[in-house]
């Protein structure tokens, strides 16, 4: 963990995973029940579960950033966008023959 110059208190890096509350606030501050309903209806990016059993539910901050930049499309369209981005990155990462 980094320490701010001139301070002894560690600086926390920004989170990579956002809880329901953090995700909904990051995306405009909709009510928690609204965010959960949107997730259940496939209107936001898919969450991930962390932990054993049912675990805790989080959203990747990077996914939400791309989702907002793309105009907040439904999950199926968002997944297509992410697949296209991934394919484009893998094409540009290959060395030229």
The DSSP-derived string for 5-25 is TT--SEEPPPPSEE-HHHHHH
Q: What is the pTM of this model?
A: 0.77
What is the strand order of the sheet 56-60 is part of?
A: 17-18, 56-60, 48-50
pLDDT at 14 over 80: no
Which range is least confidently modeled, 48-52, 65-69, 85-89, 91-95? 91-95
Cβ partners under 8 Å of residue 13, min gap 6: 1, 2
What is the pLDDT at residue 88?
Answer: 85
Question: What's the pLDDT tens digit per position in 38-78?
Answer: 999 999 999 999 988 888 999 999 999 999 999 999 999 99
SS3 content of the chain, % helix, strand, coil (to 5): 45, 15, 40
| For the chain, domain boundaries | 14-93
| 82 and 66 Cβ atoms separated by less than 8 Å | yes
What is the pLDDT at residue 89?
Answer: 82
Instruction: Give the span between the Cα atoms of 12 and 9, in whole angstroms.
Output: 9
What is the pLDDT at residue 68?
Answer: 96
């Amino acid at each position: 963990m980094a320490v701010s110059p001139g301070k002894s208190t560690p600086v926390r890096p920004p989170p990579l995973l956002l809880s329901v509350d953090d995700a909904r606030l990051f995306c405009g501050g909709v009510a928690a029940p609204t965010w959960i309903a949107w997730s259940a209806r496939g209107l936001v990016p898919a969450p991930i579960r962390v932990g054993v059993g049912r675990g805790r539910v989080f959203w990747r901050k990077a996914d939400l950033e791309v989702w907002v930049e793309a105009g907040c499309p439904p999950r199926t369209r968002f997944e297509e966008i992410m697949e296209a981005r991934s394919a484009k990155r893998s094409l540009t990462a290959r060395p030229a023959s």
